[in-house]
């Protein structure tokens, strides 16, 4: 999986392995759905994790911030009110369309009032893991912040950071 939050290719998806696939251990010889065994449905309790989930999750957490794309032509769209929050999200994050849609719903929900994580998960019907990483990306990027009471609210740190970048750039261009 690359750092841009795209889905992993089918052959690279992490999966649990049974004792027989893992080369021994206390569950060696047990049957698994991959091995054509009788177990179907839920993951059996006797399956072991491969351990690749944690590093994958840590990589995702490490890359949870915005890569803002500046398109000078967007200024014209902003001037005549054609630029939308969806365009803004598209310029800020390299998310899939479904992730952009969740981001849009999350920001609109927080625009109404600050909300706790559990209220967001319930109200948006989003998986907690995906929602956590999304909140982390938005928080590290300055779009939202976590209040002392644990609720998330919209934040303007992103725009303050952009002003600092613009100021630095104007100073650099002015130097000879």
Cβ neighbours of residue 77 closer than 8 Å, sequence gap 6 or more: 83, 87
pLDDT at res. 132: 92
pLDDT at res. 29: 41
Q: Which residues of the chain have pLDDT under 70?
A: 1-57, 59-67, 176
Q: Quickly name the fold that domain 62-174 has.
A: Arc Repressor Mutant, subunit A (1.10.10)
pTM: 0.61
Q: Please say whether the beta carbons of 79 and 107 come within 8 A.
A: no
pLDDT at res. 131: 94
**Any bridge partners for residue 48, and if so which?**
17
């Amino acid at each position: 999986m690359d750092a841009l939050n795209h889905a992993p290719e089918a052959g690279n998806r992490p999966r649990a392995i049974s004792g027989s696939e893992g080369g021994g251990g206390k569950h060696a010889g047990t049957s698994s759905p991959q091995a054509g065994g009788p177990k179907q449905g839920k993951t059996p309790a006797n399956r072991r994790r491969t351990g690749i989930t944690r590093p994958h999750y840590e990589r995702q957490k490490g890359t949870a911030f915005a890569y803002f794309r500046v398109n000078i032509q967007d200024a014209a769209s902003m001037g005549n009110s054609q630029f939308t929050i969806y365009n803004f999200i598209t310029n800020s994050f390299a998310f899939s369309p479904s992730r952009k849609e969740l981001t849009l719903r999350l920001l609109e929900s927080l625009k109404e009032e600050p909300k706790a994580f559990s209220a967001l998960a319930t109200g948006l019907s989003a998986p907690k893991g995906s929602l956590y990483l999304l909140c982390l990306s938005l928080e590290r990027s300055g779009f939202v912040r976590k209040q002392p009471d644990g609720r998330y609210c919209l934040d303007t740190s992103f725009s303050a950071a952009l002003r600092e970048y613009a100021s630095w750039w104007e100073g650099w261009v002015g130097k000879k």
